[in-house]
Structure 1
Amino acid sequence: MLNRFLIALSLFTFCSFNAFAQEDEKQEDKKESTETLQVEAATVIRDPIDPLAPARAAFYSAVLPGLGQAYNKKYWKIPIVYAGLGIGMYFYLDNDKEYNRYRDAYKRRLAGFEDDEFFGTVTDDGLREAQKTLRRNKEISLLVTIGIYALNIIDANVDAHLMQYNVDENLSLRPHYKINEFDNTGDLGLTVNFKF
């Protein structure tokens, strides 16, 4: 009986010390959390917003492709812009050169000459079809080049807008997940904060 009493007493003492130790840890955590760095709103330095920066970046990119990206300090995009424009122009010029070859050969055949480079291998119908295909490819290449030029301008404009995007504690949208203690299920929520 004494043995059981001593075991129960030692078990009670051990549990109470453990509980006191956990309380001490919680109090230390509270002390640590209250000692965090707090920044007052008046001390936060914000860069001034330039409302003309997106228009300026778009104008620079329209004048010289890639200049708007340089204005936004996104230098790594400049080679991509020039590669896209260069590839589009290369295919346009290549298709134009091939179109002119087939067109000149077809004109010579209509004039009655039989000395063009395609004589004996390509028929008159083949020359007409090749001209149609190459003209379509040339026009598509031109449209792709114009599209890349337009994307260059749009990218500079949007990038200048996003550089001024305000992400601070005064305006925030935060998802949160919390365990409900009553029925042990999860609660999902969304918090929108706007501080003046």
Structure 2
Amino acid sequence: MLKGKYLVFLSLLAIFFVNLASAQVKDTVLKPLDTTRAVPQKNIRIDSSSKRQDTTKVKYINPGKIAGRKAIFKSLIVPGWGQLYNNQLLRDKLNAKGEKTGHFWQKTYTLSKVGIIYGGFTLLTISYIDNRNNYKIFLKEATYRQLNPGKKENPDLIRYGDTNVTDAQAIYKRNTQIIIFSYVAVYGVQVIDAYVAARLNFFNIDDSVAMKIMPSLINSQNSMYGFNVMPALKVSLRF
């Protein structure tokens, strides 16, 4: 009888643990994902047409503008170098027929600019030295006469009065300043000349450009001696 009770108790205990284990297994089972309710992702379309570069369009390159910049750069470094560069452009210049058009007189004129530039600098330098020396002489004499009234130091300036010495000092000083300004002016002019000449080397003037002048008659409102026309000159330009 006692054994029967133990068997019933053990059976009930076994059933309890089995039910408990099955409940835990059900809780740990994952539910399958419902893919039908998933939020659809939008397809992003990348428009690459805006980033495409049109390679069919070729950018125009102005050779005259490039040559002008080179001429300016060379003239700023060394005066006259831009003119020598323009002379090289004349030697390599071709017309519409593929023939060289750099004539002798054009080359001579371009090279003569270099001589004019350095000739001008040379004359300005000589004039500057001369005026500067005279300025120092008259300045020294004026200072001596101011410190020693009635006395004269330089025998070559005895014939000059005190006022004349002071005026000569001011004149030579002003001449020195003008010469310095002339240096800057010559330097700037040669830079501008090199740029303009370089641009004009690529200015197309072929044989089709012509000018014709011929006599003609025009109607006049004021008649004289019964004639209503007046003589004139007719100018025709062809491009």
- Please tell me the TM-score bracket, short chain as reference: 0.5 to 0.7
In the other structure, the counterpart of 1:49 is 63
1:146–1:167 CA distance, 2 compared to 1 (3 A): same
Does structure 2 conserve the Cα–Cα contact (< 8 Å) formed by 1:105 and 1:117? yes
Does structure 1 conserve the Cα–Cα contact (< 8 Å) formed by 2:64 and 2:201? no
Does structure 2 conserve the Cα–Cα contact (< 8 Å) formed by 1:81 and 1:152? yes
In the other structure, the counterpart of 1:190 is 236
Name the amino acid aligned to 2:147: A
The percentage of counterpart residues that share the same residue type is 24
Shift of 1:190: 2.7
Once the two structures are superposed, the pairs formed by residues 144-159 of structure 1 within 5 Å of their partners are 144-159=182-197
In the other structure, the counterpart of 1:94 is 130
1:103–1:174 CA distance, 2 compared to 1 (3 A): same
Q: How many residues of Structure 1 are paired with residues of Structure 2 in the alignment?
A: 141
1:117–1:152 CA distance, 2 compared to 1 (3 A): same
TM-score by length of 1: 0.60
In the other structure, the counterpart of 2:174 is 136
Higher helix share: 1
Once the two structures are superposed, the pairs formed by residues 63-142 of structure 1 within 5 Å of their partners are 63-73=77-87, 74-112=110-148, 114=151, 116-118=153-155, 120-142=158-180
Does structure 2 conserve the Cα–Cα contact (< 8 Å) formed by 1:60 and 1:67? yes
Q: Secondary structure at the match of 1:51?
A: helix
| 1:11-55 residue CA offsets vs partner (Å, 9 max, x unmatched) | xxxxxxxxxxxxxxxxxxxxxxxxxxxxxxxxxxxxx83422112
In the alignment, the residues of structure 2 paired with residue 168 and residue 94 of structure 1 have an alpha-carbon distance, to the nearest angstrom, of 50
Does structure 1 conserve the Cα–Cα contact (< 8 Å) formed by 2:138 and 2:165? yes
Instruction: Name the larger-Rg structure.
Output: 2
TM-score by length of 2: 0.51
1:186–1:78 CA distance, 2 compared to 1 (3 A): closer
Name the amino acid aligned to 1:150: G
In the alignment, the residues of structure 2 paired with residue 191 and residue 121 of structure 1 have an alpha-carbon distance, to the nearest angstrom, of 67
Does structure 2 conserve the Cα–Cα contact (< 8 Å) formed by 1:106 and 1:127? yes
In the alignment, the residues of structure 2 paired with residue 60 and residue 98 of structure 1 have an alpha-carbon distance, to the nearest angstrom, of 36
In the alignment, the residues of structure 1 paired with residue 213 and residue 118 of structure 2 have an alpha-carbon distance, to the nearest angstrom, of 44
Extract unaligned runs of 5+ from structure 2: 1-61, 88-109, 218-230
Shift of 1:191: 4.5
